[in-house]
Amino acid sequence: MESVPLNKALASAIDAAKAAGAIMRKNLNAEKKANEITAHDIKLELDVRCQKLIEKKLHAAFPQISLLGEEGDAGDESSDYRWVVDPIDGTVNFAHGIPHASVSIALQVQSPKSKVQSHETLVGVVYDPFQDELWTAIRGQPARLNGRVLRVSKRRHLNECIASIGFAKNKTNLERALPYFTWLARRVMKIRMMGSAALALTYVASGRLDIYIERGISLWDVAAGGLIIECAGGTFWTEAIPGRYKYRMMASNGLVDKKLPKPK
């Protein structure tokens, strides 16, 4: 397995994220074409356009690396490395003109230690084009926000914490998440539901939030942000559930984990 230069991969991911972010910024208040609308989600033509731009830029730099994305896959699925891309994380916000959405790009490598196929995230980039905030991480190095080193919060008590919780897009996950929401709301200072998983993770990494929990999250929502949290000193836990690359997830500053039950 030939290794990929991670600094070059990071630079390529940043370039791709900023290019997609420019499209998002330009179109925030424009009329948007929906490809699909469901009870709790929207798929936009811009999602597809942004992913194609990201794919084009990443492929130009690393033609041998496959891509796994919310809007489809590209390349050889059996390749050792893969990009994991959410071109617009927070599409419902974006579709309604709410400037809280992001681009999420991660580079993963197949782990040779596992007997079954699994991947480890090596590079993570999350870009908020509306605040011009860029979170980056390379495994084993500090996480950064616009070049500045990040650390998670130091809060140890739930009643001091601000938590984010997300509600996934199907009835089963919604019904399982609601009791946890009720339990959590009685114990933390405040709960926030902001609508972008990648930004919720980076906000934990930045110390703005202390906890983020969701059941039914997709890999492309959390691959980059999960690494950024870990590199900022926090914890990131996932467990697979039925569905294509679906997980239950809990992330925190690492100081309140023992007080939090994992989502079921």
Give the whole-angstrom CA distance, residue 160 versus residue 207. 12
Out of 91, 118, 149, a domain closes at 149
Q: Name the token pair of 122.
A: 């090596």
The answer to whether position 175 is within a domain reads yes
Q: What is the pLDDT of residue 114?
A: 46
pLDDT at position 84 over 70: yes
Q: What is the CATH number of the domain that holds 252?
A: 3.40.190.80
Q: Lowest mean pLDDT: which of 75-79, 93-97, 129-133, 179-183?
A: 75-79
Same domain, 37 and 144: yes
How does pLDDT run across 219-236, given as a tens digit for each residue?
A: 999 999 999 999 999 999
**Same domain, residue pair 97 and 23:** yes
3-class SS shares of the chain: helix, strand, coil, % to 5 = 35, 30, 35
- Of the residues 103, 125, 149, which one is the last residue of a structural domain? 149
Q: Nearest-CA neighbor of 167 among 208, 117, 217, 115?
A: 217
> Which is nearest to 164 in space by CA: 218, 121, 221, 202?
202
- CATH number of the domain enclosing 40: 3.30.540.10
Residue 250 tokens read as 């809990």
pLDDT score of 42 more than 80: no
Is 125 a domain residue?
yes
Amino acid at 137: A
The lowest-confidence range among 22-31, 98-107, 115-124 is 115-124
26 and 124 share one domain: yes
Alpha-carbon distance of 32 to 243, in angstroms, equals 28
In terms of domains, do 124 and 181 share one? Answer: no
Residue 133 is assigned to a structural domain of this protein: yes
Report the pLDDT value the prediction gives residue 115, as an integer from 0 to 100. Answer: 43
Give yes or no: residues 140 and 37 share one domain.
yes
The number of folded domains in the chain is: 2
Task: Say if 71 falls within a structural domain.
Answer: yes
Residues 145 and 162 reside in one and the same domain: no
Per DSSP, the three-state class of 201 is: helix
Fill in the DSSP letter of residue 144: E
pLDDT digits (tens, 9 = 90+) for 96-115: 999 999 999 999 999 865 44
**What pLDDT is recorded for position 198?**
98
Q: Is residue 1 part of a domain?
A: no
- Reported as a single tens digit per residue, the pLDDT across 5-21 is 999 999 999 999 999 99
Torsion of CA 34, 38, 42, 48, to 10 degrees: -60
Same domain, 24 and 126: yes
pLDDT tens-place string over residues 149-172: 999 999 999 999 999 998 876 777
The whole model's pTM is what? 0.93
> Same domain for 14 and 94?
yes
Round to whole Å and give the CA distance between 194 and 217: 15
Residue 171 lies in a domain: yes
* Whether residue 118 has pLDDT greater than 70: yes
Which structural domain range is residue 53 located in? 6-149
Mean pLDDT across the chain: 91
Helix (H, G, I), strand (E, B) or coil at 242: coil
Question: 112 and 211: one domain?
Answer: no
Pair (18, 137) in one structural domain: yes
